[in-house]
Structures are given as C-alpha cells and as structure tokens.
Structure 1
Amino acid sequence: MTDWLHIYRNTDDDTLAALGSTGLVRRAAKDVEAGKVAWETAPRLLRADGQLVRIDAGGPARASCDCPAPGVCKHILAAVIWLRNAAPEPGASNMTNAADGADSGPLAVAPPAGTSADAGASAANDPTAASAGDSAIDALSRLLAEVTALEPAAVFKTAGLAATRKAAALHAAEYPVTLSATAGTLLITLPSLDITCRYIGGAGFAGMVSEAPAASRAAVHVLALAAVWRQQGRAIAWPAPSRSAAAAALDDDAGLSADEQLFIERLRALVLAAFEDGWSHVSEIVPAQLRALATSARVESFPRLAGMLRTLAGTASLLVERDAGADERQAIRLATRIYALTHALEPARGDLLRELRGRERRSFDGNQALELLPLGAHWWEQRGGARGLSIAFWNPAAQGVMQAVLARRDHADRHFNRELAWSTASLWQGAGAAATLAGGALTLEQARVSDDLRLGLSMETRASVQPPWRANDERWTSAGYDDWNILADALRASAGLRGETLDCVLLRPARCDTPRLDEARQTFDWTVRDSSGAALALQLPCDPVHHQRIGNLEDWVANGAPIRAVLARYERSLQGGRLEPLTLIIETAGVLRAVSLDYEGAPASAARSAPLLQRLARLFGARPAAATAADIPAESIETATHAGWIGAMQQLLENQAMSGRLHVPGADRQRLVALRACLRASGVELLADALARYLDQPDTERGIALLYLCLTCAELGG
C-alpha cells in the first residue's frame, strides 16, 4: 500500500460527519454507489460527480475540490469514501509514482476488499494501517504510541505560535481526557470544551478532524494532543508566553481585540437570527452552531459565555428533536442573557471586562490541605443530557460551600446512574462513596481547588476520615446564613451580568414550619425562620423528578429530629428565582449528620410518605393550568403588583419570541400600553421608558432588551 493511502482507510463515517455533516456523508455515499467517483489521469486527482478532487498525505481535512462550495464538500467526502472502500491492485507500480507526485497515469483500483486476507496484506505493508483483525485495545495502543511519538516542537510549528499559546493557556485547566479508538482513528474527548478531536492514523497533526470552528481548530487540536502527552507522562516545552500578566491586564484595559470583536458580532448575529425565526421553530443547524461558538468562546477567553452557550445548545437540541422536556422559555431567557452579555462586553474595559469574561471554569491550584464537613449530595440531570451527583462540603477556612462533582456528558457512559454514583463511585483515595460520608468529617491532602470552590477528583488527592463535628463546634457555629436579610443581600449581589453565580447556600434556621403542598401552584412549600422570626420560603416543584425529595423532606420534618441547617440551591429559572432544599444537617446525640433528600428517608417513614406521593402523582398527572401574571386581564392590570406587571410583560414578550414575532406587538399592544401606564404611575421609570421605546419602534433588538430588563428586575425581587 502506498505511504498515504492508508490514511483514507483509517477514516470512518463519524470522522467524515465531523468534517461535513451526516446528511452530506449520506449523499456522498450515494454518489459512490452510483459509480460517480474514479481516478483522473493526473496524479492525486479524482473525479467525483464531475468535480476534480485533489488528495494527498494530509488526509481528508487537507483535500480540496474545484466546486464553489466552501469547506469540505460532498465531492471530497465521496472521494474519501471511495478510497476507503476500494483496494489498489497489489504491486501496481504507478501507485508509488502518484504518491511521489510523478506525472503518471491513473492508479489502478480493484473492487472493494472483502476478505481479511486483503486487509492483513495491507497491514503488513504499512504498520500504521488498520487491519480487520485489530481489536479496540490494539488500535488504541497503536494510535497512542503514534501520538506520543510526535514531536511537540514540530506540532507547534505547524499550528502556529498564536494557536499554540492559546492551547497552552487552556492546558492547565484541562481535565484528564477520555480516549477511545476505532480501527484507524484515535478519539480524544476534551471535557473542558465538550468536544471530540479525531486523530487519523498516519495523517499527523495536520490531518486531525473535529467540529471546532475554523478559527479555533488549530488551538483545539494542539490542546488535544498536549492532553494526551501529559496523560502518557511526556514532558511538554511550551513556547514562552507572549505577554506577562501585567501586559494581559493592559490589553483588557484597552478593550476587546479585533478577533474578539468579530467573535462577539458572529455570536450576536446567530442569537438575533434565532429570535427572528422563533424559538418554537429552531433550525436543526442552530445547536451545532451554538456548540461551535461555545468552543470559540472558551478558546478566546470568554469562559462565562462558553458555559452559557453550551447550556443553550443542549436546550436547542431538545427543541429541534421536539423532546417532551424541551422548554422554549428556558432557551429564550438564556439567549436573552447571552445577547445582553455581548452588548456589555463590547465597550467594557479593565476590571469590568475581566468580570464580564468570567473566571476560567477550572483553575486548580493544587497542594492544599483541607478540613471539610460533608453536607450531603444531590442528583441532577440537564436538558442537554448531562447528569451527575454533586457532593457538598462546608469549608471553614474559606467560609463557603465547596462541591465535588461526579458527572457524565450527554449520552456518555450509559452504566452511570444515580444509584451507582451515590453508593459505589469513590471520590478520592481513602474516602468511600458519597453514601458513606454523611456521619463524619474529612481531611484532604493535595486537594485541587478551583477559584469557584470546586473540588477536583484527582487521583493524587488523599482523604482521611475524621470524627464528626459536634453541634457546638466553633467551626460550625459561624457557618452559613442565619440572618435572611444578609442572605437577601448576597442573592441580589449575584444577579445581573457582573454578579458571581451563587449556586448553593447553607441556611441555619432557628425554627422550621411544617411543609405544605400548594396544589394550585403545583409546589411543595417549606418556610424556615431565622433568629428574629423572619420567614424564608423554600420550594420544590411537584414534578416526578422531585417526588422522592419531597417525600423525604416531609418525613424528616415530621420525624422531629433537630434540623440544624439546610443546604439549598438557588434556582433562577423562574421569576425572581427560588431556593430548593437539597440536604438537611440534623443533630443526633450532639453530633452533626448530613441527610441527602434525594436518597435518605427518615426512619419508619414509609407509611407517612405514601399518601403524599400518591397525591403528587395524581396532581402531576392532571397538570392543572397554574395562574400566571400573564393571565391578568387588561382591565384588571391596575390592581396588580409590581411583580405582576413585570411577570405579565415578560411572558407576553416570551410568547412573541416563541413565534418569531418579537418585532410585532400585535394583539398584545393594548396590554403593553396599560402596563406602561401602571409602571410609570408607580415610579418604575426605567422599565416604563424601555417599554415606550419598544412600542414606538418595535423591533427584535428592543424586544430582547426589554425582556432582559424584566428578567433582571425579577431577579432583584421586582
């Protein structure tokens, strides 16, 4: 086999789909079946459906076609499929000449190889070619050896200095990669970017393939190889950074670079187009575009945007698939915040720009010794398919909640489930599974901690189990919030584009009321009170996902065990947000114990929880329509509250955004005019003025701006 032809043999359909699309691969395969591909008379040229395709040792990613289509076209894919399926005649002398660029006739090609003997002969002639007898382990070992043997300096030179420096900046925050292999391709999955890069055997760095956007592709591919090198124990000599930390700060003082401005413009155009098409009619290409932009955002140092875009891409995928769990309003609200953030980033300078960029998602500093009190665990599933178990701890040194996360990406590791994560998966050496941590404390040596107080699950970290804390331990008496006014200030400070997201809070109530089921709103409500008697409402939605948590919460409150603290998550998806109880800290014989409501019921609780769960099942099955602010009739708007007016306006705008008519108030104009009058009369001038501008000149951009104001006011409490 020629020196380069095996590269095309090593290319599978998934790799081709990453170059083009699944539909394009399908069309290309039909052209091959129809006999529309053949060698041209000149070397390294094929004729595919009438177009000339040039191929060489660079692999499919480096092939070119004379058709006007940009990027990888159907003709290139057809040529690759044909080369992959067709075996050159053994001993064809003109094959080597063509590979060397000699002026020779067309290569002779036999029908597709159908026997293992053909494949075995190919493998014997070329050790990097995949053979039919290759096991997955053999292929992985062979390809890993090939990648490890690459010279970093040569890779960096091919990628270019700018791409290499971007990869170096991302490398420190990269998790261990996930590796797998087909017969001829090494799949390198980067957790930080949620993207898979494909290294085709024999094609080298230049032949790598991924769904990363063109502007970021070289940096992403360098990052993938570097992550493999590090995992295989190979040292990497990165080029010297182009600027110091002080110089980077000066760059931020000058604002966004030209490349960053271009990225912001592309992102804004995509989000605006999705609003104009309507979020109930999302195009099937939008999720892929959002994922590509998320990768670019991460490479271009916009970590906050990157996380938001990944979440929006997952929601958009469900909308395209018409999944029962798809939620247009969730997509609209997140897209609105993304659009607002692009506008805030554009003129920002200095500290403001650094805040709006956000922190890198994982920047572990290592070598820390920590003493921690376990606060329990909760299971979660995202609309995009990701799922996991978050285990919370109180860190007295940082005076904050820390979390470690066992998780899997969408559709990855089907054996990973809520019970396995809770009872089997070990977090660190010396510590058992999450289920075993409730009754003690932990000390971690060589812990890896990110800036956002996230604990890394490093194999280097060593854990030792300590005696549980007593309820009067001074490390505990200063933990969490015991004044709801201070909590409210912290929640308000986390709102808006500049606020650092406040995920979980530890509450230390002085007294807890009996929880109750609100059938009209389909919520399970629990009021807890601070030392001054002020009430704080905790709430769980009555959907099947929360039924077990609701039943366990009712049982533990009824059990009468002293509840010393509640770990709650701040959920911003509804107007104003809500606090959802996740775990309880109870006192037993003077010591503290964590109770995870997703898993642990109170002793002898089955008889108590059964009636409630039966009511929940009936309630959720009936799904009565809950009254919303948008249901306020126009003639009764003046009797509503501020929150009612803001909620009514938000839902009217969201309804228009679903249909793509955000630029046309239409039948809702009368209600919006009445809302404007009420807002102005009550002194809410900012919203009233924005609504007036929208009504005077309705367009999509003004509608998005008005919707963002509604969301922010709701976060701040109306």
Structure 2
Amino acid sequence: MSDRKTFAWAAPYAGLDDDALEALGNPGLLRRARKDTVTEVSHDPKGAVLDVSGAMVRVDGRGPAAVSCDCPTAGVCQHVLTACLWAVQLAPDAPPQGAVPVVAQAVPKTSGAAGTRETSAASGMREPSVVRRPSEAVRKRRREALAEVREVVGRLMSGGLSHLGPDDAESLRALAGRVRLAGFQQVATEQVGGVRFDGLLRVAGGLVAGLAGRDDAVTESELLDAFAEAWAMCEVLQRALDTDGTAHSALGSAPASDNADDDEVDLARWVPLGARWWTSQSGSRGLAYLGWDAGSGQVRQVVTGRPSGTDPRFQRSWTSPLLWGRSLSGLCEGVFALTAVRSKPDGSLGAGGNPVLRRLDDGSDGVGFGLDELRAIAERTGAGVAPRDVVGFGRRPANVRLVLVRDVGEVGIDEVRQEMTLVVVTADGEPRMLRLPVSDEQAVETLLSVRSKLVAVTIERREDRDEPVGLFVRDKGAIRLISPTITPAWSLEGGYWDFWRRRMRKLKAQASSARTVRSAATPPSPVRRVTLLLGDVLLAAAATGRPALTARQRSDVERARGLARDLGLATLERTAGGLLAGDLTPPSVLHAAFVVGRARAVADVAG
C-alpha cells in the first residue's frame, strides 16, 4: 500500500507528462526547472504557496495554466514548471515517481522521454527520430481545446466585436494558456507554418484589450483577421487529429525538433540592410532589424519590442544595447558572420540568446560595404515577395527590396497622409517615392541630412507605401549604413557648430522648395475591388453581430460575386455565394474573412 500524500486540489495535475510541460514552456525551460528547489510556504484546501529558488509561486485547483509566479519573467517561467512538477507528486491519480521531500529538495528527473533525451545528450549520442502516436488522453485534451476555442470565438463574434470588453480579453488569455497545455506544437506544423496556436490566441486577446480600451492603434479589422486565422487553424488541427493525431505521418514530414524553440543556426555572411523603430498609440515600442543572409539568399529579420510601461531602458537609441546585447550602430557598421543565433520556424531570427558576431572586412579600403555585393543583393531582391509566401498562417514576410540610387529628386509633403516624400531614381531608371511620417521628426531630419549622398536604399513595402528602413551613403570614400528612424541626424556630421549651420541651411532651402503632393486616387485593381467589397461587408457583420445581410450589403456581395466570376476567381465566387445563401453565422463569417484576407494579401503583393 502506498503512503504517498495527496491533495484533492492537485487533481488537475494528474498525469501531467513531459510533453505537456514542454508545451506549457519549452524543453530548455523544463530542463532548468528540474534543478530548482521547492519549499512549501503555506497551504490551504484550495492550493499552496511555494518558494521556488527564491520566487513565490501559487498553485491551486485551477490547473497548470493558472499557476502564478512573482518573478519578473513574462509568461511561463521555469518556476511555474517547477511548481507543476511538485504538484504532480501530490495529485491523487498521478503515477508514483519516487519520494520527493517537500522542503528544499531539487525536483527529480522523471523517467521516460525526457530522461532518455538527457541520457543521450550526456553520452554524446543523438537519439533516433521516432514518431510517437499521442495517447488517447492527449488526443481528447486537444479535441476539447479545439471545441473550446470554437465556442469562445463564436460567442465573441455573435455579440459583435464593437461590444467586447476587458473580461473578454482576459478569457482569451486564459484560453491561450489551456491551449498551450494541450500541446499542439507537433500537430500539422508544416500546414500552419510553425505558428503556435496559443500565440494566435494571445495576439487576439491583446487586440480585444486594445479595442475595449479604445486604443487608436487597434482596429476591428485586425481583430477580425486574428479571429479568422484562429478559426482556420482550428480546422487544420482538427483535420490532422482526425487522421492519426500527429503531423508526421499525415504530412510525411520529419518529426518536429524537441528543442524547436531553441534552434540555433550559424550565418556565414550577414549583410545588414537597416532597422526600423516603431511605436504605437498605446505606448508599446519595438525594433525590426533586417539583413541579407548570403547563405540562403534571402532577407531575414529580427523583431523585438516591449509593451507600454515595461523596461524603461528599452528606448530608441543608436548607441545603447537593444538587440543581442549590442547597439544598432555596431550591428549596422559592416558585414559580419553570426554564430549560434536563434532561428524561428517562419525563417525569421530570434531576439534572444547571445550570438557571436565576427566582422568581415569587405570594402575596397577594408571597411564599410562593397558596392558589388549591394548590386547583387538588389538584383536578388528585385522580385519582392512571391504571392505564395503570403497565403499561410502567422506574420507576413517582410516585403523588402534593396535598390541602387542613380539620382535623387524633389522633397515633398503629402498633406493628406501627413508624410514627407522623396523621389529617388533607381539604377534601372525607375522612380520610387519614399515616404516617412512627418510626425517622426528624427527620421525626417536624418533622411534630409544624407539625401545627396545616397548610394542605395532598403525599401520596405508597408500598407501600399514605400518606407526607407536603410540608407547606404558614401562617407569619406566608404559606404556606410544608417537607419532613418534610429540613427540621429547629429551623428552624421563632424563638427557640432558646422552641423547646425549646415542643417539650418538645408532645412530652410528644402522648406522653401518643397512642393505639396496631392496623390491621385488610383482606382483599385479588379481583384482588389472584389476583396474590398467583401471585406467591408464582413467587417460590418462582425462589428455589429448582425445575423443577416442588409439590402445594401447583399447588393455589394452580388457585385463582388459577379466580378469574381468574370475574373475566374472561383474560390472568391464560392465564398460570396455562401454569404448570399445563408445566415451570417460566426463560422461562415470567419471562413469568408480568412479567404478574403489571403486573397487581399496576394493582390497587394502581386500589385
């Protein structure tokens, strides 16, 4: 007879295995969690308070997704996983895993898959890839999670997006925790582009919170897209579960890496292309750093940011460490090699870790950038993003081009958009109009200070506008990279007083010669018009929760269906026909929104 001590509140932790805990955190976090020490501070009929290596953690009957920790780490930390491992020992139905002293005892390693992996790693041997069929309990947990997501999203859609409140945002965040615990990271990984299901729900929860808080940076259209993507992922994951419950045999792909969150790669040649600093109305801010990976022949980016009110040290700066413990001035000073940089499934690079940078001197005088290499990158990026790359799940790839500059035209002001414009003529003789918000005075001043020295420009296509994110300028015989939204104008001149004299002369001359740009309203392409007609109807239906089309909306959908038929767009024609044939139920609106959103992305890239 076992004399193991159990508590009724610990029942939700029964049978919690390594796969579930890795889904809650990641394999590296779980390995570190096993080394923590646990001391029980207090307990009651609902749960217990633990001291986990100096952090106070609360566990209770709500389950692993509700475990809270007072350490500064955002999201799930190793202390939370340690507390879950401790609670497993007290669950009534948990299988015995050996006696565990409660006070000041390191959490032991459990037997099974994780133990096998660690033994293999310690012996220097690589464990062969084995496709394991999930247990029936795991499959049941995943089906229940999918059903809950459908129910919650459907309920929020039925009430209308404009009527959502803070409680709805909180319910989505809690749902994301339960979905993460269900462990979908190895299900249909190729079909969803490696995007985490719980990540989509967290994004949707943040958008709901912004919408409920009247944040001007959040729109109902963005929230509808997020809900549509979450609903579509439900369908993909459900189909994968209905086949055999794993992604591997269903897709014929190799098993996902056990440490997919910690994958590291070496980039033999990295050419920085620029950086873009962004801020939102809510106060959150961040950085997108772009570069050319010569080995794979593609543009890759690193994105990092902070929410409002957190980490006051993370501010726009050219000389302070912002990424990988280094400043942007150092990360943009030339070509270098990157060792042990984290890589994400979607091809972007991770902002975490501490990769090693090694400078590669390539200029004719041993510094800066080589013009021949910039010309080669311009040729490779000239085609932009392929339409097939924008139809999947998750973040759309950066639409970035590097163009060589033959001539620089006039400075202008677009009063309608409140943007400064600068026309550059590329090496191919094509005029491109660059745009920067007038409100970003630093970016405008930097661009005006170097416009006469431009050799090449890195252009990111964002929301039907070309924004310069990297400016290659000739400075004292070498080619130098600066980023208008981050590089301060004062750093581009030698003498302090000479800079101010030249700057005032430039600004006065450019202000007197700047012309007002009145952008002609270009009619949308036929494909774009179809997506606009259907998108407006779907947005109105989602915002109000109205269950049927109005007479005006029905007319717009009929026009869109007729135009789609004339263009041979069979999928959009069927989607419009479905809206005309039935009620505007949440599944029908979300299905149509997903299809229209993918078609809109393809039309934007192709255009």
TM-score range, shorter chain: 0.5 to 0.7
Counterparts of 1:185-196 in structure 2, within 5 Å, are: none
Counterparts of 1:552-567 in structure 2, within 5 Å, are: 552-553=446-447, 555-556=449-450, 558-563=451-456, 565-566=457-458
Quote how far apart the aligned CAs of 1:418 are.
1.8
Paired residue type of 2:217: G
Matching residue of 1:493: 388
Q: Secondary structure at the match of 2:16?
A: helix
Change (3 A) 1:683 1:475: closer
Answering whether residue 565 of structure 2 is matched by residue 711 of structure 1, we say: no
Preserved contact between residue 48 and residue 59 of structure 2 (Cα < 8 Å) = no
Change (3 A) 1:168 1:454: same
Preserved contact between residue 427 and residue 434 of structure 1 (Cα < 8 Å) = yes
Partners of 1:358 and 1:308 in 2: how far apart? 20
Q: Given the alignment, which residue of 269, 272, 288 partners 1:390? A: 288
Encode CA deviations 1:249-273: one digit per residue, 9 max, x unaligned.
7669x9x933222212211222222
Change (3 A) 1:666 1:201: same
Counterparts of 1:220-239 in structure 2, within 5 Å, are: 223-225=78-80, 237=109, 239=111
Matching residue of 1:7: none
Matching residue of 2:148: 266
Encode CA deviations 1:685-706: one digit per residue, 9 max, x unaligned.
3322321221121313323322
Paired residue type of 1:661: R
Q: Given the alignment, which residue of 582, 593, 596 partners 2:469? A: 582
Change (3 A) 1:684 1:312: same
Counterparts of 1:532-551 in structure 2, within 5 Å, are: 542=437, 544=439, 546=440, 548-551=442-445
Q: Given the alignment, which residue of 289, 313, 329 partners 2:221? A: 329
Paired residue type of 2:146: I
Partners of 1:561 and 1:691 in 2: how far apart? 48
Identity fraction in percent? 17
Preserved contact between residue 405 and residue 425 of structure 2 (Cα < 8 Å) = yes
Quote how far apart the aligned CAs of 1:225 are.
4.6
Answering whether residue 306 of structure 2 is matched by residue 408 of structure 1, we say: yes
Paired residue type of 1:651: D
Quote how far apart the aligned CAs of 1:598 are.
0.5
Q: Secondary structure at the match of 1:373?
A: strand
Q: Secondary structure at the match of 1:209?
A: strand
State the TM-score, normalized to the length of structure 1. Answer: 0.58
Q: Given the alignment, which residue of 157, 163, 169 partners 1:287? A: 169
Encode CA deviations 1:398-430: one digit per residue, 9 max, x unaligned.
4344445553344322343223xx42226557x
Matching residue of 1:241: 113
Quote how far apart the aligned CAs of 1:353 are.
6.6
Change (3 A) 1:235 1:270: closer
Answering whether residue 593 of structure 2 is matched by residue 697 of structure 1, we say: no
- Relative CO higher for 1 or 2, CA cutoff 8 Å, sep ≥ 6? 2
Paired residue type of 2:455: P
Rg: which structure is higher?
1
Change (3 A) 1:347 1:625: farther
Partners of 1:496 and 1:172 in 2: how far apart? 30
Paired residue type of 2:20: K
Encode CA deviations 1:505-539: one digit per residue, 9 max, x unaligned.
35234656646544445555667777655677765
Partners of 2:356 and 2:83 in 1: how far apart? 24
Preserved contact between residue 379 and residue 598 of structure 1 (Cα < 8 Å) = yes
Quote how far apart the aligned CAs of 1:315 are.
1.7
Paired residue type of 1:162: L
Partners of 1:674 and 1:446 in 2: how far apart? 54
Partners of 2:217 and 2:400 in 1: how far apart? 27
Q: Given the alignment, which residue of 535, 538, 558 partners 1:673? A: 558
Matching residue of 1:440: 334
Answering whether residue 171 of structure 2 is matched by residue 171 of structure 1, we say: no
Counterparts of 1:117-128 in structure 2, within 5 Å, are: none
Partners of 1:208 and 1:57 in 2: how far apart? 19
Q: Secondary structure at the match of 1:389?
A: strand
Answering whether residue 402 of structure 2 is matched by residue 507 of structure 1, we say: yes
Matching residue of 2:101: none
Change (3 A) 1:298 1:383: farther
Answering whether residue 184 of structure 2 is matched by residue 301 of structure 1, we say: yes
Answering whether residue 203 of structure 2 is matched by residue 311 of structure 1, we say: yes
Encode CA deviations 1:476-521: one digit per residue, 9 max, x unaligned.
554365463x3242xx122123587413635234656646544445
Preserved contact between residue 217 and residue 282 of structure 2 (Cα < 8 Å) = no
Encode CA deviations 1:222-272: one digit per residue, 9 max, x unaligned.
84355899xxxx8973543189875447669x9x93322221221122222
Partners of 1:539 and 1:488 in 2: how far apart? 20
Partners of 1:343 and 1:438 in 2: how far apart? 43
Partners of 2:459 and 2:313 in 1: how far apart? 28
Paired residue type of 1:561: L
Matching residue of 1:345: 237
Change (3 A) 1:535 1:613: closer
Partners of 2:287 and 2:321 in 1: how far apart? 10
Preserved contact between residue 482 and residue 508 of structure 1 (Cα < 8 Å) = no
Change (3 A) 1:483 1:314: closer
Paired residue type of 2:564: L
Paired residue type of 1:346: Q
Encode CA deviations 1:581-617: one digit per residue, 9 max, x unaligned.
322233445543211111334664555457989999x
CA RMSD of aligned residues (A): 5.1
Matching residue of 1:423: 319
Partners of 1:308 and 1:213 in 2: how far apart? 23
Paired residue type of 1:487: G
Partners of 2:583 and 2:507 in 1: how far apart? 52
Change (3 A) 1:681 1:358: farther
State the TM-score, normalized to the length of structure 2. Answer: 0.68
Preserved contact between residue 373 and residue 440 of structure 1 (Cα < 8 Å) = yes
Partners of 1:611 and 1:474 in 2: how far apart? 34
Change (3 A) 1:671 1:210: farther
